Amino acid sequence: MGDAAPEIPAPPVDAAAPDYLPPKFWDAEAGQVRVEDLARSYAALERRLGAAGGDTVPEDPAGYQIEPAMEGLTADTEVNARLMEAGFTQAQAQLVYDLAAEKLAPLVRDLATETVQGEQRRRLTEHFGGADRWQTAAAQIDAWGQANLPAPMFEALCNSYDGVLTLHRMMQDGEPQLVSGAAPAPSGRSESQLRRMMQDPRYWRDHDTSFAAEVRRGFEDLYPDEG
């Protein structure tokens, strides 16, 4: 006959839990530690305590304090729930949103630009009475603007519906009808001063009527025969 397997002595029934062990991890009936429960609790605690002091996993998805990294990208409850389930700390969740914004922002800008440009083309086509007339006007405005205006000013005006209409008005009004070396106007403003005034946003962007009238009077004083 083979040797009988040695008997493992059962722990004494009256064994007491160690002082350092929380009661919930002690099996009084078996007289031993609930190792599996202890391991699970430790894993959960470790998950909730971040590596960088104080950075923790919140108790519920609403606990994430997300700082918007771009306009329109706000915290999403469903996303936050997934992050919490995966054990993401506050800093890690913020990083997810920051990376999303970094990748999405260029796409959003491009889409917004295309949408705005499409709407502006529609309005300009309607304003000028059809696609053919708008294309003709656009070519004329482009040629006139490049010949008469500083590049930054011309480019800024081309980027909006109102700006294009301002260019068209300026072209029709002959602004600026400039002759190099003109003497100062009776108002005291020279041609170069008036040109600088035309680059002022109040003239080409804000359509300040009093400011535009001042520029127009200046040119009328300089070139009374051109009116």
Residue 42 binned pLDDT confidence (cut-offs 50, 70, 90): low
Residue 183 binned pLDDT confidence (cut-offs 50, 70, 90): very low
Cis, bond preceding 68 (omega within 30 deg of 0): no
How far is 56 from 182, CA to CA, in rounded Å? Answer: 72
Global pTM value: 0.37
Residue 167 binned pLDDT confidence (cut-offs 50, 70, 90): confident
User: For 76-93, what is the mean pLDDT?
Assistant: 87
Residue 26 binned pLDDT confidence (cut-offs 50, 70, 90): confident
Does pLDDT of 56 surpass 60?
Answer: yes
How far is 172 from 139, CA to CA, in rounded Å? Answer: 14
Does pLDDT of 145 surpass 80?
Answer: yes
